[in-house]
Structure 1
Amino acid sequence: MDREDVKNEMNGMQPVTFTLRPIGVVRSPYHSMRDAPRQGRLSPGVLSKIAIFEEFRPGVGDLGGVRHIIVLYWLDRAERDLLHATPPGTTTEKPVFATRSPNRPNPIGLCVVEVMKISEGCITVAGLDALDMTPVLDIKPYSPGIDAITCDGPGQNTPNQAM
């Protein structure tokens, strides 16, 4: 589909809005963006809790015994009008969708964390970079066979390319 096809398809369409309901909140030692690591894996020993709201607790159980989960959360303190960002360790500004900046039009955070404990509607995890009281949108089991991508060869992402 080329640009004109997309333009014709979208002609007359109204922007769509969504209503998201958090399933819980993060309880974290990080209270400002300056406190938090730029990626949760940079602080694997730091524990946080995901407090699941009562109505969603039956959806947690023991999480099927998985060791790692993907946490999706709303970066409620992010700036939503930025379309460029300068990744850490660089001086070159990049388009926001080529970065992992929290400041973006739809600030959805994603972090793979290790499950340490599940108790009374609370999931204790290691390696979460979210700020205290961040709304949690969803939790999914991490599956290495599906979620891990081996990056071999030229042109593939490396850990420092998409910060």
Structure 2
Amino acid sequence: MADFGDAKAEKTYTLYPIGKVVRDQAHTFIVLDKRYQPGLMGMEEFSEVTVVYWFDRNDTPEKRSILKVHPRGNESNPLRGVFTTHAPMRPNLIAISRCKILSVKDNVIEIDEIDAFDDSPVLDLKG
């Protein structure tokens, strides 16, 4: 294989949340900023949605520098590189979950569950 050298990223990018995860004791919702509501047109026809969100509670230089983890936080699992796991500690804290849609009303999607905290910023949705 050719020597590709080091792929240092020199650019930075800005992400803008389109909404947030809202949880109460019995329900989980994706609540979009009202200006993005037109982007939900037709979503009620889907049974699932891919939610792209940000692990904002891990946004520290220390947690972003972790590159090896025990999968599922279980130390009996062998150490693996973060890119082979779904671990929330990683250089870019982008998270992706496929969720069952329970209902869509206005700017709110009720989903079955998601591995995100209340108020986690939602970056994108894909039907």
TM-score range, shorter chain: 0.7 to 0.9
User: Separation in 1 of the partners of 2:114 and 2:39?
Assistant: 21
TM-score (norm 1): 0.67
Cα shift at 1:92: 2.0
1:52 aligned onto 2:32? yes
Aligned to 1:103: 89
1:74 aligned onto 2:69? no
1:63 pairs, out of 33, 43, 50, with 43
CA RMSD across the alignment: 2.1
Aligned to 2:69: 85
Provide, for residues 6-54 of structure 1, a one-character-per-residue CA deviation record: whole Å limited to 9, x for no partner.
Answer: 228x6xx761111011110000259xxxxxxxxxxxxxxx631011001
Larger Rg belongs to? 1
Percent identity between the two aligned chains: 30
Structure 2 letter corresponding to 1:7: G
Provide, for residues 118-158 of structure 1, a one-character-per-residue CA deviation record: whole Å limited to 9, x for no partner.
Answer: 113111001211101001011101xxxxxxxxxxxxxxxxx
Cα shift at 1:64: 5.3
Structure 1 letter corresponding to 2:2: D
Cα shift at 1:76: 0.6
SS at match of 1:71: strand
**Aligned residues of 1:28 and 1:130 also touching (Cα < 8 A):** no
Structure 2 letter corresponding to 1:2: A
Equivalent pairs, count: 121
Cα shift at 1:86: 0.6
If each structure's strand is expressed as a fraction of its own residues, which one has the higher value? Answer: 2
SS at match of 1:77: helix
5+ long unaligned stretches in structure 2: none
User: Separation in 2 of the partners of 1:14 and 1:125?
Assistant: 35
Aligned to 2:114: 128
Aligned to 1:42: none
TM-score (norm 2): 0.84
Which of structures 1 and 2 has the larger relative contact order (alpha carbons within 8 angstroms, sep 6+)?
Answer: 2
Runs of 4+ that moved beyond 3 A: none
Cα shift at 1:98: 1.4
